[in-house]
Each structure stands twice: as C-alpha cells, then as structure tokens.
Amino acid sequence: MQTRTFSVGIFLVCFLFLGGSQSALAKKMYKWVNENGETIFSDKVPPEQSQYRRESLNKKGQSIGVTEQAKTKEQQAMDNRLTDLKKAQEKIIAQQAANDKVLLSTFRNVKDMEASLYPTLQSLDTQQNVAQGNLKRVENQLEIQQKKAAELERNGKKVPKNLLDEIKQTEAQIQVAYAEINKQIEKKNRVKAEFEADIERFTFLTRDNKDPYKESDKIAENKVSDQIGLYTCETDALCVKAWISAHDFIKVHATTPIDTDTDKLILARAPATDSDLSLSVSKLENENKKQQLFLDIRCRESSLGTELCASQKVRDIRSAFRPFIEAAVGK
C-alpha cells in the first residue's frame, strides 16, 4: 500500500475539490502533528512517526480513536513511581481501617484502654529492673577486678594478661547492659506513645458517632490524613497553593535534596546513609475525583534505616504534613 501524506492545507483543498467523496478517504486514515508542528494525514503511520499522538479517522474524516504519544523512559519511570505511591497510600489507608476496627471491637471506652496499659507497662518495668540488676552486677565485678589489678601494681607486680582480658570483657558487658537498659526505656516510651495515639484515635472514632462499628471504615478513609500525611484539595486554586507549600515541607524535613520536580511528583534524592530521610509528595486523584497530596518517606534499606522509618520522628513528620499545608493555604 502506498502511503499518502499531506499537509493540512493540501488535504483540505483536495477534500473540497473531491466533494468529500469516499475515494479520498477510502482507507482508514490517521492524523497527527509532527515535530515541526505540521498536521499530517496518512493511511499508514511510518515507524519514525509512531511516537506522536494520533487520531484514527473514519471515511467521513471524523475522529474515531486516539493513540496517545509514546512515553519516554523517564516518563514511564515517573508513572511507575506514581503508581507505587498510590499503592502505598491505599495500603496505609487499609491498614488504618483495620486498626480502627480492632480498636472499636476490643475496647468499650477509654477506661478499658487505660486499664489494659497498666500490665503492659508493669511487664516492661520488670524487664528494665532485670537489665539494671545485670548492670549493677557487672559494675561490681569490674570494681573487684580493678582493685585486684591496682593492688598488684602497688606491690610492683605485673598485672596478668588474663586479668586484663577479664577487665576488658567486663567493660564490654557493661556497655551491653547499658544498651539493654536504653532499649527497654525506648520500648516503654514507644508503647506509651502508641497507647496515647490509640486513645486519641478511639476518642475521634467514637465522638458523635452512634454506631462506630458501621462508620469506622468511612471515618478511617476520610480522616486518616492525620496519621498518614494526606492533604485533600477542596479546590483547584487551593491545590496550586498546596503544591507550592509541599516543596517547602520537603526542604525543611528531608535530608537529601530534591532531584525530581514535575506537576505530579516532588521527589528528594534516595537516602545514602542510615540517617537520611528522603521525602516525596505526589499528586494523586481519589475515587471522588478530588486531587490529593500524599507524603511518602523513604529510609535507607538497612536495619538502622528501617528502624528510623518506624521511629516517632518519622511519625511526627508525617502527622505534621497536613497541618503545614493547611496553614500555608490559609485555611
């Protein structure tokens, strides 16, 4: 089949002279705009032109379909990232809904929740007391060993190697004991913080809610923004302001610089160290066709990085996102 390619002017002249005869468009035709801004009509799309957005035309010259412009590797990578962020958002919302159901089905009121905390804290206190007892024991042991070494030196005798090794081992045990105590303290603080967050969430879910069991899914979906870092735009104008503010939020809280900035994604550079926090904000559309700004926080893929992303510091950053944006847009 011979390809017939025309500029838009020539095509229209020919069409008029032919009176719109079917012979002019006897075959399926395509229409696209090339890199020079010229509108092209042809019954076949050359391979070198296939990347452009094109329309399929019927015998009457009417558009019957559109093939969007082929995406570059960078554009495809961006789309993949946005898809991943959308899945992450949906996963967090689903998890929050599940947590809400557990809260509502486990406790009748705040007093029940407070009563459940006491035995948990008591158990943690017991573990901390054990760790402090171990610390006291090895500190006493070190004191005895050091006195023995000092006595030998005062008598002009050389301290045996095995005694020096024992002192080093005991010093190492002391460091382990201190680390264990700090671990127990951090665990207790974390449990208390999570407990306080659960009480706050339970109070919110049951406030002015006659049937919290039936309403928990809806509440979790609509109000979970406080927990996951989600801002829903009420208008396009507010979304423009919010998007500008999202840049400022990332610059304040991310430890890596922004290296991707489009109309749908602001992405800081990937974390390079265990202490790095890489933030991104994506513009996504919810099921009600409203634009949402979703905050994602990434840490380095390591044990310390995982611990950082699970820390109170990251939770505080996430919960600060929505208030930051709302303050910036003037609500």
Long-range contacts: 103-106, Cβ < 8 Å, 24+?
103/198, 103/201, 103/202, 103/205, 104/202, 104/205, 104/206, 104/212, 104/213, 104/216, 105/213
What pLDDT score does 116 carry? 87
Counting as low any pLDDT under 70, the low residues of the chain are 1-27, 68-72, 74-75, 78, 81-82, 89, 92-93, 208-227, 331
Structural domains of the chain, count: 3
What pLDDT score does 70 carry? 64
Residue listed under structure tokens 């634009």: 291
16: containing domain = 6-67
CA distance 25 to 217: 55
Q: Choose the final residue of a domain: 158, 185, 214.
A: 214
What CATH number does residue 241 fall under?
3.30.310
Give yes or no: residues 202 and 229 share one domain: no
Give yes or no: residues 45 and 118 share one domain: no
* Burial label, 250 (beta-carbon count in 10 A; 0-12, 13-18, 19+): buried
What pLDDT score does 139 carry? 94
Give yes or no: residues 113 and 208 share one domain: yes
Put simply, whether the predicted model's pTM sits higher than 0.95 gets the answer no
Give yes or no: residues 119 and 30 share one domain: no
Would residue 1 count as lying in a domain? Answer: no
- Edge-to-edge strand ranges of the sheet holding 39-42: 6-7, 39-42, 29-33, 54-57, 63-67
Q: State the DSSP string of 193-223.
A: HHHHHHHHHHHHHHTT-S-HHHHHHHHHHHH
Give yes or no: residues 176 and 195 share one domain: yes
Name the β-bridge partners of 297. Answer: 279
Give yes or no: residues 209 and 110 share one domain: yes
Q: Choose the final residue of a domain: 37, 67, 97.
A: 67
Q: Say if residues 100 and 201 touch (Cβ distance below 8 Å).
A: yes
Give yes or no: residues 207 and 244 share one domain: no
CA distance 235 to 242: 10
Would residue 86 count as lying in a domain? Answer: no
CA dihedral sign of residues 320, 324, 327, 331: negative
Give yes or no: residues 118 and 153 share one domain: yes
Name the β-bridge partners of 318. Answer: none
CA distance 266 to 243: 9
Name the β-bridge partners of 260. Answer: 267
Q: Choose the final residue of a domain: 214, 248, 268.
A: 214
Would residue 146 count as lying in a domain? Answer: yes
Give yes or no: residues 202 and 230 share one domain: no
Q: What is the β-pairing status of strands 63-67 and 258-261?
A: unpaired
Give yes or no: residues 308 and 241 share one domain: yes
